Amino acid sequence: IIVAEMTSNLYKYANDGEILMGVFGEGAAAYVEIVSIDNGPGMSNPTKMMQDGVSTSNTMGHGLGSIQRMSDTFDLYSLSGWGTIVLSRVYNNTKELKTAEKIVVRPLIVSKPGETTSGDGLAIKKTDKYIKIMLADGLGHGPEANKAVNEAALSFKVFPDYSPTETLRFLHTNIKKTRGAVINILAYNALSRTWTSAGIGNIAARLIGPVTARNQMSYNGIVGHNIPNTMNDQEYPAEQYNIVVLCSDGIKTRWDHAKYPMIQKKDPTVLAAAIYKDHARKTDDMSVVVVKVK
């Protein structure tokens, strides 16, 4: 019903749009995430539209209200003249929602149009003290790129060290028989409230805070083929940067979060969807991962 309502809204109001759907696991609760993205006229007052029946043609507000009621998590972001993003999550076990996590990881990973597998991939490793995240983009696209990323993910999960650079060295050794990948490793230490990061190749990493933002520089090379002899972990305080965005090269690099007023107050998936909406190349696998510390 949620997909039907979203589809109906796209058909009636949008010039161009798409619906993305994924199944994820979060703690003991698996969930389905559905994101509607359109380039329609947008809404100047989304809150008013959410009151059932208030709409331009008496149906859109009603549709959004019913999507919200059927969703365990719901969010809406719209700018007049830009378009609208609608986010819905439905959990297998809603009890899991009550355990609010200190850090959330929200990925948007979309295959190159026409491909059935993605050469981009995300892996996450959690311990009591830290969380470590890998975004990898296998060279090219399709099954061979997917294989390189899957091999990297297997190695990533067994490597015990916290250090992103040491993790990259370990992955380099273990995926030499694949076509290789560009990879960024991001770690967050909950005790020191510090990000530690390192990347090889063109996975873009941007740190965003309430006041300032900065890009993280990656090393040249391809994991599995050639990596620098000397690499250093880069550290950033989470007090200064509470959001980190990782993007594969299927996303154009010149995006600016300041273009989206108040979006940092929304669910991180909404920011990922906004970046994807405006900057996806559509000629490659596309990934945006937003990591946020609460």
The residue type found at 35 is V
Sign of CA dihedral 113, 119, 120, 122: positive
* Longest pairwise C-alpha distance within the chain: 63
pLDDT at 274 over 70: yes
What torsion, rounded to 10 degrees, do the Cα atoms 183, 162, 165, 153 define?
-30
pLDDT in tens, 255-270: 999 999 999 999 999 9
User: What is the average per-residue pLDDT within 182-200?
Assistant: 98
Can you give the pLDDT at residue 1? 85
Q: Please tell me whether residue 10 adopts helix, strand or coil conformation.
A: helix
**Domains (range + CATH), the chain:** 2-96 (3.30.565.10), 100-293 (3.60.40.10)
User: How big, in percent rounded to 5, are the helix, strand and coil portions of the chain?
Assistant: 25, 35, 35
pLDDT digits (tens, 9 = 90+) for 62-96: 688 889 999 999 999 999 999 999 999 999 887 66
Q: Using the predicted structure, report yes or no on whether residue 34 has a pLDDT greater than 70.
A: yes
Instruction: State how far the Cα of 208 lies from the Cα of 247, in Å rounded to an integer.
Output: 14
Mean pLDDT of 152-174: 98
Residues in Cβ contact with 231 at an 8 Å cutoff, skipping those fewer than 6 apart: 165, 168, 169, 198, 200, 219
| Site of tokens 């995300």 | 122
Give 246 or 60, the one with higher predicted confidence.
246
Q: What is the pTM of this model?
A: 0.93
pLDDT at 114 over 70: yes
Q: What is the CA radius of gyration of the chain?
A: 19
